[in-house]
Structure 1
Amino acid sequence: MPRVTPVTQLRVPLGGQHIELQQVDHDAGGMSLLRTRIREGSRFTVFDVDPLTARAWGEALLAWARSQPGPAP
């Protein structure tokens, strides 16, 4: 049974989606994974990513956010 530790929760203001990030650690060991759960109404999308993918994804999100007009994140 994996241990799931909450990381953060976000709500998308325009679409109303609820995003949860959780760290997943398996009892057998191995690397921790970052679980992303997106809820849209009654529908859920859930996927787990490794640290390298999470870093690349996070950097891409930050690069995009920084390129947008308005206050810096």
Structure 2
Amino acid sequence: MSKRGSDFLYHWISEHLPDDPILDPVLLVIDMAVDAKRAAETQDIPGQEIDEEIGTIYKFIMQGLR
């Protein structure tokens, strides 16, 4: 993943993690990964940059949930 892509994800995820209790963490991670990719594309970060490390996105979000 590019530095630009990873920086974007770090900030986006930290701003979008819910404060409320999480009922289904797996569903949350999937939804957040899809939303993060869409948001990146609106910032002119190509989906390919995000797709390269989609597993990393899931790990990134899961770490934020801890």
What interval of TM-score do these two structures reach, taking the shorter chain for normalisation?
0.3 to 0.5
| TM-score using structure 2 length | 0.32
Q: Which has the higher strand share?
A: 1
Higher alpha-carbon Rg: 1
